Structure formats: structure tokens, C-alpha cells
Amino acid sequence: MNPETAAHMYDRDLPRNEANFAPLSPLSFIERTAEVYPDRLAIVHGSLRQTWSQTYARCRRLASALQRAGIGKNDTVAVMLPNTPPMVEAHFGVPMAGAVLNSLNTRLDPQAVAFMLDHGEARVVITDPEFAPTMAQAIALRQRTEPLLVIDVEDALFTGPVQRIGSTTYEDFIAGGDPAFDWNLPGDEWDAIALNYTSGTTGNPKGVVYHHRGAAVNAISNILEWDMPKHAVYLWTLPMFHCNGWCFPWTVAARAGVNVCLRRVEAQAIFDAMREHGVTHYCGAPIVHGLLVNAPATLKQGVPAGIKAMVAGAAPPASMIEGMEQMGFDLTHVYGLTEVYGPATVCAKHESWDGLDIGERARLNARQGVRYHLERDVRVLDPQTLQPVPQDGETMGEIMFKGNIAMKGYLKNPKATAEAFAGGWFHSGDLAVQYPDGYFKIKDRSKDIIISGGENISSIEVEDVLYRHPDVLAAAVVARPDPKWGETPCAFVELKAGAQTTPEDIVRHCRQHLAGFKVPRAVVFGELPKTSTGKIQKFELRKLAGSAAAIDV
């Protein structure tokens, strides 16, 4: 074969090189923003006001200091931090050193943290004083014998007792770094940028590995889905340890926005920050939005109108949508998992929905929606055949993802990785239906379907009805063993303050909206167990369901 004709003319003598190709990475976002808007405000924390040029220099100092400490490509740097400036800086400084950021869940016990430090082979830990006691115990429980560099963060806003567990402080450590450190983009956009552990309910959690490409395109998709303007003011109510804050540390940098830090998620602190800093955007689990909706009216006075809120997790009930509208907030419903960088679908709203009544708008907005701009595909497929289910709003299948916004895989777990990507799709484990307009709605996790007398009951459907009751603050439905039916629904309900509702009232409410076999046979009042990100822990409720007293329905 003639060598000159071996390649097509569109490939021949047209090589990829540094002049025409660069790996996608969110690290380029902060570089550009620091060049274009050096004096724009980047971080607010208490009395601290830090510009983008200052933030970029500090990130480069961190990267330089890490390299001088012997940290390089694919080394793991773990952080145990709240939503404070060092957490923002870690999202850039750690990968600038070529290392991988492992943001630890601050609510975990020492045993779980020790497992993650060992499994992820962490070589550095940066910890906040609030979590020093937990981290000290975790370090003592480690099985690995390799040296671990421990760095203590000092924060004037932390008022508790300070326990020093490290060999240096964060400020002293980065002071030894070069603010003009000449970092490089990854050699390959497939290189790992972050390690996040799933909150497994049984056995050890799995380590989800993110790549630079996925982090960049999800951060950009956040901008596109929200029409996020330049210089947005973003309030950190969502933990940055949760899916790297849904990639918003990188999103905010791309928009030269403001990171308004928040150590604790409390209604007073949130509303105060919104007023003081002119917050324009924030994200959170349903419990966070519910906290604001149900806050006393006096706390809401003077809050700016038009704040954009993003909710993920359980679908927003009508009461939440209505409450957000009354505050003048614009709520966007997204859906995703740790394995897809947080949100990877959005319930994109249409102008035609605006004139509908609140019940119909709540029904439409409760759907998990359609794929993010830069996700290749999301479908509801038959889990056995991998064929699309009919888009009739009734036939159930499994939500599956394909494309750029998907993890590299599970660290040191090839079996779980192969199962997750079987057939060329990421299997979410969420069961859903798809409607004629292409929008899909979760009906349940595969493990959460209640099978009663051979009939499938969606716990989410029952929960949607429970949330329509005016006295219900939070609700979860799980299977309760039943000698006759096999399983029946058991409702765990957290009531609003001062509510006088009885379990029988709840059952009567459900009867008005559900088929008889779907009505809960047991109703238990009390505070619901939740994860640090606000998700209700159904596995804890399943343990209690067997002893719940039945109600004659």
C-alpha cells in the first residue's frame, strides 16, 4: 500500500500536537480567571476577602509545597474539611501537583475514615480542628505503615477546643511553596483528579475515581443548565466533600464567581449570608431547602429575590416548590450519583409549565428529567436486555448513563467496575419510567421496591403522597415483613414543629390518593436518620420496620 494513501486526507499530515490539542481539565479555569479577573472577589469567609489572583497563588503554593514534600502524580491527598477556603484551594492545588484529591465525609466515624485512608493509600491528610479528634483516632487505626504527612488547618471561625495532630499547620506548609509554581495540565485528560467514597450501607464503601475530563465537562454543564452568569455569588450549603461539591468549586472558578464559605448549615447563617453577600446561587439536598422554607418568617426578611436553588435527591414536593416560590427562589431539580460526578440530569423547565397549577407543576418538576448538556446519553433500559423501555410513563426499567460524565471506575475493585459498566452503560440501580416527552421519573431503588401480595409498590410514590400532607416535614417508606402479604409499606414520618397529626390521620390522607394495597400499614413518628448530605438512611429504618405496630387500614 502506498504510504501516502494509507491515511485519509483529513488525517494525513495533520498531527495532534501541543498547538492544536490540550487535555480538558478544570485546572485551566482558575488560571484563566486569575489572568482575566485578578482583582475580583473569589472567597468570602468571616472577615476574609480573597481575590482570584490571591487564590490562584495560594493554590500554586499548595501544589509546590506538596511536590517539595515528595507528592507527585497519582499520590492521594486526603482532606477532612468543612466548606472553608482550604477546601476550595485543595480542589486546585492538589491536582496541580499531579496528585488525587480524596475529600472525606466529615460525618464518618474513625473506623470508616481509617479504611479510606488505607484503601486510598493516602500520603497526606489536611484536617480542620473540628475533626481532629476523629482523624487522630482514624490515623491510629490505620493498617498501612507508610509515613503520613498530617497538616492542621487553623480557622478563626472555629470556636471549639483545638487539638493539634499534625507536624505543621496549613499556612506554614503553603508558605514553603512557590506562588509562581509552574504546574502543568495532566498528560492525559483521563488521569485521575479525585477519589470519592460511596456511603455504602453494607460492607466497605467503594472508591469512585474521577478523571480531569469528566470534572471539566460536568463543571461546564452546571453553567449551561443554570445559565450561570459571570461573577455569580455561590453559597456553600452543599458539602464540598460530596461529589466534590457537584463539581461547583470548578464551576465557580470558570465563571469568576464568589465562593461564600459556610462552616455550618443553619437557617440563620444561610439567610444572613444571602443578605450580606448578595447570594445568587446555592445547592443542597431536600432537607436544606426544607430548612429554609420552614424557617420563621422573621429570618427571611430582606433576602434577595431571584436566588437560584438546585435540589437533588428526593423529588421536590409541591409544598417545597410553593415555599421556594413564596421566598422568590427559582428551584431546579437535578439527579445523579457519586459515580456520575453528582448531577448528570436536569428537569429542564418549559415556559408552558408556568401557567399550570402548583400540583401539576410539582408533578412535572418531580421528574429527574433529561441528560446534562455534555453527557452522551441517559436512558431507561430493561436491565436484562439493555433495550429501551416504552416511553409510556408506566413500564419500569433501570436508569443508565453513557458518556463523559461517568467515573473511571471503582478503585481496586475490577469486579464491581465491570458490573457497573456491563453492556457499555453505567447501571445506576435506580428504577424509573420514561414519558413520551423523554423525561424520566424514578420509581425506586431496585432494593427499595416493596412487593406486597405479588404487587410492586414504589416507596417513592407513597412518599410523594406523604409529603402532600401539610404537617409532614420528612418521610420515608420501607418494607415491613407481613405474614399474609409478604411485605407491606411502613411509613416513617418526621412532623413539623407543633403538629398534632396522628398516625390514623396519615393513613386517611394516603387512602385519598393511593390504591388500598399501597397505603402504609404502619406509621412511625420521629426524627429520621440522615447522612451528612441529608439523605434519609433507609437501611436504618428497615431495621426498625419489623417492630413497628400495624394500623388497621
Q: How far apart are CA 165 and CA 145, in angstroms?
A: 17
Burial of 352 (0-12, 13-18, 19+ CB in 10 A): exposed
Helices H, strands E: what count in the chain? 18, 26
pLDDT at residue number 1 = 47
What does the pLDDT look like over 180-212, one tens digit per residue?
999 999 999 999 999 999 865 446 789 999 999
In this prediction, residue 314 carries a pLDDT of: 65
Q: How crowded is residue 12: how many other Cβ atoms within 10 Å of its Cβ?
A: 12
| 74: its cell numbers | 497519582
**Strands, sheet with 122-127, edge to edge from the N-terminal-most edge strand:** 168-169, 149-152, 122-127, 76-80, 100-103, 192-197, 207-211, 409-410
What is the residue type of 169? T
Residue 266 CA neighbour count, 13 Å, CB half:
5
The CA R_g of the chain, rounded to the nearest whole Å, is 24
Q: pTM score, two decimals?
A: 0.85
Distance between CA atoms of 471 and 258, rounded to whole angstroms?
37
Q: If we measure between CA atoms, which residue out of 466, 542, 472 comes closest to residue 511?
A: 466
Indicate the residue type of 334.
V
Tell me: the pLDDT tens digits for 79-138? 999 999 999 999 999 999 999 999 999 988 899 899 999 999 999 999 999 999 999 999
Rounded to a whole number, what is the distance in angstroms from the first to the last CA of the chain? 80
At residue 201, the pLDDT reads: 43
Burial 140-156 (b: 16+ CB within 10 A, else e): eeeeeeeebbbbbbebe
Distance CA 490, CA 550 (A): 8
Q: Which residues of the chain have pLDDT under 50?
A: 1, 201-202
- What is the model's pLDDT at position 453? 67
- In the DSSP assignment, the letter for residue 338 is G
pLDDT (0 to 100) of residue 204: 77
Residue with cell 485521575: 192
The upper half-sphere exposure of residue 382, i.e. CA atoms within 13 Å in the direction of its Cβ, equals 8
Measured between alpha carbons, how far is 101 from 211 in angstroms, rounded to an integer?
A: 11
Measured CA to CA, the distance from residue 552 to residue 540 in angstroms comes to 25
Sign of the four-CA dihedral 230, 233, 234, 236? positive
- At residue 282, φ and ψ (nearest 5 deg) are -160, 160
Q: What is the pLDDT of residue 214?
A: 98
Residue 38 and residue 54: Cα distance in Å, rounded? 8
Angle of helix 318-326 relative to helix 459-467, nearest 10 degrees, comes to 40
